[in-house]
Structure 1
């Protein structure tokens, strides 16, 4: 990807476009990343060892969406999650697509939540995210996403935060438990100020960054870090279909 990142105080405007040959370079890694958001890679490997590639593929397929809309929405969340962890430096500690009620159903609540601590490792820091994946991105979608980010006074919705907290508290990792307790406390205390709850509006689209994205960022209040992101994939729908076909096929080697 070719990246163009602009920053104005606490407002970040990031746009990405594929570079020549870039898709082939990241294809295998992206396919594996997609799989990892639906199940643990070690669990998939265990299925292959016990049952063979064909049956293991069937098990994986049962968790992955089969509709165009479902795949598009899920891939938006997957790419957003990876970007937050690579570029923002917060964890998205729960891969929530593993917990869907039905593989073709969209999950309710915040699309993704980033969490961590400040530079001193003391104060909790959150990121509330909304992901949109569209063949054609327009103002209506951007306005709708911003409305979702602003609800609950800009805080992560309590049910979404509690879901992440409880998954972390179920972990065998003590650091996960500590973060889970911090998140669970925040559900009740609501002690975080706006300047420690960042917002990200993440988009993937076939038409590139619509002018409404920059307008939306310019209009946002400067009381928190705002990230507005667009990944331009010209063959948006074909790209998604191909990636899911490859992710579902575990191969035979």
Structure 2
């Protein structure tokens, strides 16, 4: 995983329960270590581990690198957005109970196309009670984050009556093909068909990966929220944002 604690300082910003606001700031002295850690997890977000394992067993290392490179975005804007989504997904898996779901970047139509729907959905399923709870995340990445971008993310989170979009829920369920995922797939289908998912069963995460300090922007947005879903706001600041993205993708390609 991305092991944020090894290369970031973490500050919990005060807000009203049950909401939370966490700010992570990369340690400049650990830049190279951070690049290596993040680059190590990127391929698994674009290709399934079983596919990667097969490639390494059958091909030369430089051939595997070439195949991985063919899956990665080429434009600076898409690299920024995709890496932000990777970091958001790993944060959810490392820091929250919502550890079930898919890595949706594995299902991109094309390396140079953005995906539709919610940026990330995470799930927690109580196998005893059958209770399904969902995390709906919006990820934004930019060297300088603006209030307008945060507002757009806030609007997306509150869309569909605070719930995940039907498209995104169906997208996940259709790709949970492993027999071990049947319980989650059935729970997602039931939530859709029976309209059983309510805003109180949903947690929103607004995750921003930036070069500037977004503490005030996020705190202002969070304080203005009046809906029923629990809110987790997370800011990851890497002052050398653009350099970091370039270095991570260069390391993956190598």
Same fold (TM over 0.5): yes
Pair 1:165-2:173 in alignment: yes
Match of 1:34 in 2: 42
**Deviation per CA, 1:76-100, whole angstroms, max 9, x where unpaired?**
1111111111111212520110110
Pair 1:86-2:99 in alignment: no
Partner SS for 1:16: strand
Q: CA deviation at 1:207?
A: 0.7
Unaligned runs of 5+ in 1: none
| Residue pair 1:208, 1:233 contacting (<8 A) in 2 also | no
Match of 2:5 in 1: none
Name the CA distance, whole Å, in 2 between partners of 1:77 and 1:92.
16
Name the CA distance, whole Å, in 1 between partners of 2:98 and 2:229.
15
Q: CA deviation at 1:50?
A: 1.8
Pair 1:69-2:77 in alignment: yes
Segment of structure 1 superposing worse, 147-156 or 215-224: 215-224
Q: How many residues are treated as equivalent by the alignment? A: 246
Partner SS for 1:8: coil
Partner SS for 1:37: helix
Partner SS for 2:51: helix
- Over aligned residues, Cα RMSD in angstroms? 1.7
Matches within 5 A, 1:1-253: 1-6=8-13, 7-117=15-125, 122-168=130-176, 170-173=177-180, 176-209=181-214, 211-221=216-226, 223-249=228-254
Segment of structure 1 superposing worse, 118-127 or 59-68: 118-127
Unaligned runs of 5+ in 2: 1-7
Partner SS for 1:182: helix
Name the CA distance, whole Å, in 2 between partners of 1:224 and 1:160.
18
Name the CA distance, whole Å, in 2 between partners of 1:199 and 1:45.
34
**Deviation per CA, 1:105-129, whole angstroms, max 9, x where unpaired?**
1100000001013596531100111
**Deviation per CA, 1:30-57, whole angstroms, max 9, x where unpaired?**
2121111011234223223322112211
- So what's the TM-score if we normalise by structure 1? 0.91
**Deviation per CA, 1:105-158, whole angstroms, max 9, x where unpaired?**
110000000101359653110011100001110100011011111111011000
Name the CA distance, whole Å, in 2 between partners of 1:157 and 1:181.
17
Segment of structure 1 superposing worse, 17-26 or 199-208: 17-26
**Deviation per CA, 1:194-221, whole angstroms, max 9, x where unpaired?**
1111101100111121522111000112
